[in-house]
Amino acid sequence: MSTSLSAAAPVPETTDSGSAGSHLPDEVRLSLYETMVLSRTFEEAILREYHADKGPGFDIGKGLVPGEMHLSAGQEPVAAGVCAHLTTDDAVTATHRPHHFAVAHGVDLRKMTAEIFGRETGLGRGRGGHMHLFDPDTHFSCSGIIAEGYPPALGMAFAFRRRGTDRIAVAVTGEGAANQGAFHESLNLAALWRLPVVFVVEDNEWGISVARTASTAVASNADRAAGYGIPGVRVEDNDVEAVHAEAAKAVARARAGEGPSLIEVATLRMWGHFEGDAQGYRPELDSVAGLDPIPRYEQRLREAGVLDDAVVARVKESASARVEDAVAFAKSSPTPDPTDVMTYVFAEGAAR
């Protein structure tokens, strides 16, 4: 940390990555691994389908999955570690890169896939698309407007407390989004009203082509939490168990009515900002594959005797079966009827 600004701020607690032995029970570790594998398997299938029919060259508007596509490969540890502490009664507001949180929070794979394919059976009946997934069953939502998932999370948390429950809301952004006004206003208001919110910042180091160091004056967004009087912690090294440990504290604090906290995770965007991004601005691209958190965690669990070839094969096969079922469901689902295009503008049109 070189700037006087960050030097003056309280030093955030830093969690070291798990070179040390784990205190987690084997079944929790296995389940973190399974969640990450399911998420990756899902995105690999989306990647395949997305690029399948983009024509000669690359026409973003073509194919079974048109439009912008932001994939979260490499960021699975964040979602898996946080969502392990949630039930589907808790809310998650995610970003334009939403799939890993949706998968980890238990959004129905078939309905989500169908939405991404623009089908009538999708979460939003094909109206929303991959950046606008809304699932009332799991209280999951996301937005394509940067940082705009933070304010609604306050309201969800407010409603949960008002109803006398211990349900909480988790709000997710990227590190780039932490420079938006909505981010800062939300931290202040949640702190002031002690709302049961866990703020999560995924620091994958890039806001499209702009590096964190070129957009943010402090080295860690955990520093910023202090400015709002809430705990802030940075988890290094994209480590799912460290995320799990920090999320445990933040979630417990929120459930106990002690107010919000912020967790920033140093994570990794393995692929482009969106599909089609050649990443010419990203010099270290060659080394990215070696940083993939899933093989790393797999290796760790093998060494700990939690996994062996047979378990790995079973986890991957089961993920792949679920994902291919969801893709097949989406592909065989009807596209929305164009004459219905005005339905759902107002509540009268909601049939659910």
Partner 1 sequence: MTLTESPVPPPRADRRLSTSKAMVEAIALEMDRDDAVIYLGEDVGAYGGIFSSTTGLLERFGKDRVIDTPISETAFVGLGIGAATEGLRPIVELMFADFMGVTLDQIYNHMAKIHYFSGGNVKVPMALTTAVGGGYSDGGQHSQCLWGTFAHLPGMKVVVPATPADAKGLMTSAIRDDSPVVYMFHKGIMGLPWMAKNRRSIDVVPEGEHLVPIGRANVVHEGSDITVVTLSLSVHHALDVAEKLAGEGIGVEVLDLRSLVPLDREAILTSVGKTGRLVVVDEDYLSYGLSGEVVATVVEHDPTMLKAVQRLAMPDVPIPYAHDLEYAVLPRQDKIEAAVRRALG
Whose Cβ is closer to ligand TPP: residue 79's or residue 240's?
79
Q: What is the dihedral sign for C-alpha 162, 163, 167, 171?
A: negative
Q: How many helices (H) does the chain have, and how many strands (E)?
A: 11, 10
The answer to whether the CB of 185 falls within 8 A of the CB of 151 is yes
CB of 217 to ligand TPP, least distance (A): 15
Residue 22, contacted partner among ligand TPP, partner 1, none, CB below 5-8 A by kind: none
Binding footprint of ligand TPP on the chain (CB under 6 A): 96-97, 144-146, 173-177, 202, 204, 206-208, 269, 273
Nearest to 88 by CA among 73, 110, 103, 72: 103
Any contact of residue 56 with partner 1 (CB under 8 A)? no
DSSP symbol at 285 = G
Span from 37-45, 117-125, 149-157, 164-172 in contact with partner 1 (CB under 8 A):
117-125
Residue 77, contacted partner among partner 1, ligand TPP, none, CB below 5-8 A by kind: none
Residue 332, contacted partner among partner 1, ligand TPP, none, CB below 5-8 A by kind: none
261, containing H or E segment: strand 261-266
Any contact of residue 130 with partner 1 (CB under 8 A)? yes
CB of 172 to ligand TPP, least distance (A): 9
Query: DSSP assignment of 217-259, as one string?
Result: SSS-HHHHHHHTTS-EEEE-TT-HHHHHHHHHHHHHHHHTT--
Whose Cβ is closer to partner 1: residue 342's or residue 351's?
342
The answer to whether the CB of 101 falls within 8 A of the CB of 92 is yes
CB of 134 to partner 1, least distance (A): 12
CB of 171 to ligand TPP, least distance (A): 13
Any contact of residue 272 with partner 1 (CB under 8 A)? no
Site residues for partner 1, 200-259, by CB under 8 A, read 207-210, 214-216
Helix 293-303 with 76-83: angle, nearest 10 deg:
60
Residue choice 75, 143, 220, 238 for contact with partner 1 (CB under 8 A): 143
Please give the Cα distance from 88 to 99 (Å, whole number). Answer: 16
Any contact of residue 118 with partner 1 (CB under 8 A)? yes
Residue type, 170: V
Contact string (CB under 8 A) for partner 1, positions 164-183, x = contact: ------------xx-xxxx-
CB of 294 to ligand TPP, least distance (A): 18
Q: Of all residues in this chain, which one has the CB nearest to ligand TPP in the complex?
A: 174
CB of 311 to ligand TPP, least distance (A): 31
Any contact of residue 59 with partner 1 (CB under 8 A)? yes
Please give the Cα distance from 168 to 255 (Å, whole number). Answer: 6
Residues 6+ apart with CB under 8 A from 252: none
The b/e string for 8-47 (b: 16+ C-beta within 10 A; e otherwise) is ebeebeebeebeeebebeeeebbebbbbbbbbbbbbebbb
Report the interface residues with partner 1, using CB under 8 A. Answer: 57-62, 66-68, 115, 118-119, 124, 126-132, 143-148, 176-177, 179-182, 207-210, 214-216, 276, 280-281, 335-336, 338-339, 341-342, 345
